[in-house]
């Protein structure tokens, strides 16, 4: 975590920038689950007085909310109520240049103009040092809920067949399952990152969110979907691992 970086959260109708490393660590912990005060102290390795001050600041800013702990109502538990929007990152001029090339190529009939347009918007943020993957991930979760409602399978193999068919029909790429235990699959010709340069990180957080929401909607179980390989990390495909929680 960059000491001098920042993260943006939507809290009600306000956008809040969080800069402190400890505060950001607390918010990361609460993105995973609700936690008690003592658990947060242990996880951060800081003294209680420091964490107490940070928790008050975060609650005053509308980023978190407290509630009486079930096992002891004299103690507090905390949940994240704000939505992650983005974070500072190293500026990536490679992505900006490549998206401009894609726009020019699409206008000459060499690809989808809409895809190139959407890429140019997203990767312009990267060129300015703003990583919007948290927002894209959460948007993907919302869209995935809708997609999942339209599917019918209630078993993993049947659902992956539906996912592969949907990806192909919508021009999102070709899905191929490599292993079932643990579920590992490839996406080739990815609409989001194909032909993008190696920038040292994966680029498909939006799809991670979509897939997680589809699994939850159809299987009734939370999965963590993680992109392991991507055009953004020097590969010519996207490789995903999906683990039930």
Tens of pLDDT, residue by residue over 81-116, are 888 887 776 766 677 677 777 778 778 876 678 777
How many residues are recorded in the chain?
245
Query: Using one digit for the tens of pLDDT, what is the confidence trace for 163-191?
Result: 999 999 999 999 999 999 999 999 999 98
Per-residue pLDDT tens for 45-56? 999 999 999 999
| Residues in CB range of 37: below 8 A, 6 or more apart | 48, 51, 52, 55, 75, 76, 77, 78
pLDDT tens profile 186-243? 999 998 888 888 888 899 999 999 999 999 999 999 998 999 999 999 999 999 999 9
3-state SS, one letter per residue, for 64-116: EEEEECCCCCCCEEEEECCEEEEEECCCCHHHHHHHHHHHHHHHCCCCCHHHH
Closest CA to 229 of 165, 175, 171, 186: 186
pLDDT at 19 over 70: yes
- pTM of the entire predicted model: 0.69
């Amino acid at each position: 975590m960059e000491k001098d970086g920042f993260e943006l959260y939507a809290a009600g109708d306000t956008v809040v920038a969080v800069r402190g490393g400890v505060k950001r660590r607390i918010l990361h912990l609460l993105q995973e689950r609700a936690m008690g005060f003592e658990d947060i102290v242990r996880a951060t390795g800081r003294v209680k007085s420091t964490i107490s001050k940070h928790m008050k600041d975060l609650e005053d800013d509308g980023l978190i909310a407290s509630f009486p702990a079930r096992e002891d109502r004299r103690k507090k538990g905390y949940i994240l109520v704000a939505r992650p929007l983005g974070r500072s990152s190293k500026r990536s001029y490679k992505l900006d240049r490549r998206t401009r090339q894609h726009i020019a190529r699409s206008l000459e009939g060499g690809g989808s103009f809409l895809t190139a347009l959407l890429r140019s918007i997203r990767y312009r943020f990267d060129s300015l040092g703003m990583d919007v993957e948290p927002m894209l991930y959460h948007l993907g979760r919302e869209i995935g809920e809708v997609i999942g409602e339209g599917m019918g399978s209630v078993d993993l193999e049947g659902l992956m067949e539906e996912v592969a068919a949907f990806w192909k029909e919508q021009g999102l790429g070709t899905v191929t399952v490599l292993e079932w235990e643990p579920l590992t699959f490839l996406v080739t010709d990815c609409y989001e990152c194909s032909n993008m340069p190696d920038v040292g990180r994966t680029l498909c957080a939006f799809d991670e969110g979509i897939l997680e929401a589809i699994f939850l909607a159809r299987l009734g179980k939370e999965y963590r979907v993680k992109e392991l390989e991507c055009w953004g990390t020097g590969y010519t495909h996207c490789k995903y691992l999906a683990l039930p929680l």
